[in-house]
Structure 1
Amino acid sequence: MSTVSRPAELTGDYVFDTARTRIAFVARHTLSTRVRGRFEEFTGGAHLDGDRPSQSRAWLTIRATSIRTGNRQRDKLLRGKFLDVDGHPTLTFTSTRVVPVDEARYQVTGDLDVRGVSRPVTLDAVLTGSESDARGDLRVAFRGGATIDREDWGVNWNASTTLMIAPKVLLEFDVTATREAPCAS
């Protein structure tokens, strides 16, 4: 495997490698304990422009029923009362702006849609690596996240929920994406 070192070499369209990507969250519960969870079913991709990072974009669609916290009862409650998966089967993120902070760090702003409510979110993203694999496919890896207030999207069960679960939720991602081969003319 070879490491890619120049940003221009990263330009292209990418598909998230779902086997190597983690989309997760952390919420504070009563007594300051943390509940960690993840989404197991999603699709996503990106267009990276190594010469003009501001022209890059990313998108993600998550199947809401794929939420997992390691507790079946809690997962059922999250699917029903919090995410309303019957009425809103997906969560989506579509970037609207990419701002480079330095050669490896970016602020990615986009629309996060949860329960039919769309609000802007800015994700901090760090390019953690890029390399060509044994087949010559280029892979890139990013990690990052953002802290959101779940109540902004109506993700709340009842008034006492805020007493048990903090409204701030940390969204985390570790993404590996593979560059798609260009179409033959």
Structure 2
Amino acid sequence: MIKKTLAALLLGSVLSSGAAIAADYKIDQEGQHAFVNFKISHLGYSWLYGTFKDFDGTFSYDQNHPEASKVNVTLRTASVDSNHAERDKHIRSADFLNSSKHPKATFTSTKVVSTAEGATDITGDLTLNGVTKSIVIKADFIGMGDDPWGGYRAGFAGTTTLKLTDFNIKTNLGPASETVELTISIEGVRQ
């Protein structure tokens, strides 16, 4: 009887502490704890940085079985912000994101693999500008635990590089600007 009681208390303690169990998370973009940023070369002379301010999504994560994880993100392309109103208007135009015709970009994971370096490769389908392509996000687990408001959170950061012509963006910005690097930092609240 004592062994059963101790085992039940231990299991209850592990579950209530939020230890590594499979869970679903909502990305905390409203609290501004998530970012989708980009970087592209400007004529090969400097870097142009920007962000997307409006997106949401979910992920499932089990620290013991990361390969079972799933990610779904929807981003509003008109929310692009490069800190220059006229440039943002151009980025939203048909020359680039074509936000009026394709107001959303989506990412849905199809496979998650842990690498020998301790990172995670998240393969998935990115739909951008009406084109769907498989991409790989190199992600790192940042941490997880209780928050001050009674919730439980997990966070990740990742990067990927996109070739503009793969997504039907044909505006020629020169050879130094054929790709854009995305940096994604997300914190999710366990549901």
Matches of residues 50-61 of structure 1 in structure 2 within 5 Å? 50-61=63-74
Matches of residues 1-150 of structure 1 in structure 2 within 5 Å? 9-18=20-29, 19-80=32-93, 81-101=95-115, 104-150=118-164
Equivalent-residue separation in structure 2 for 1:155 and 1:41 (angstroms): 21
Match of 1:178 in 2: 189
Tell whether the 8 Å contact from 1:127 to 1:141 is kept in structure 2 after alignment.
yes
Tell whether the 8 Å contact from 2:164 to 2:170 is kept in structure 1 after alignment.
yes
Check 1:164–1:122 CA distance in 2 against 1; reply closer, same or farther (3 A cut): closer
Equivalent-residue separation in structure 2 for 1:88 and 1:32 (angstroms): 30
Check 1:10–1:70 CA distance in 2 against 1; reply closer, same or farther (3 A cut): farther
* Cα deviation digits, residues 57-111 of structure 1 (max 9, x gap): 0011000100000011110000012111111000111000000125952100000
* Cα deviation digits, residues 143-162 of structure 1 (max 9, x gap): 111111111001233xxx23
Structure 1: gaps spanning 5 or more residues? 1-5, 181-185
The number of equivalent residue pairs is 172
Check 1:144–1:38 CA distance in 2 against 1; reply closer, same or farther (3 A cut): same
- Whether 1:151 and 2:165 are equivalent positions in the alignment is yes
Check 1:132–1:8 CA distance in 2 against 1; reply closer, same or farther (3 A cut): closer
Equivalent-residue separation in structure 2 for 1:7 and 1:168 (angstroms): 40
Per-residue deviation, 1:30: 1.2
Instruction: Give the TM-score taking structure 2 as reference length.
Output: 0.84
Tell whether the 8 Å contact from 2:18 to 2:152 is kept in structure 1 after alignment.
no
Equivalent-residue separation in structure 2 for 1:175 and 1:10 (angstroms): 19
Tell whether the 8 Å contact from 1:8 to 1:51 is kept in structure 2 after alignment.
no
* Cα deviation digits, residues 106-159 of structure 1 (max 9, x gap): 1000001011100000000001111101233111111111111111001233xx
Identity, % of aligned positions:
29
Match of 2:144, SS state, is strand
Judge which range, 130-139 or 73-82, deviates more. Answer: 130-139
- RMSD (Å) for aligned C-alpha atoms: 1.9
Match of 1:15, SS state, is strand
Tell whether the 8 Å contact from 1:7 to 1:50 is kept in structure 2 after alignment.
no
Structure 2: gaps spanning 5 or more residues? 1-16
Match of 1:9, SS state, is coil
Match of 2:90, SS state, is helix
Equivalent-residue separation in structure 2 for 1:84 and 1:125 (angstroms): 28
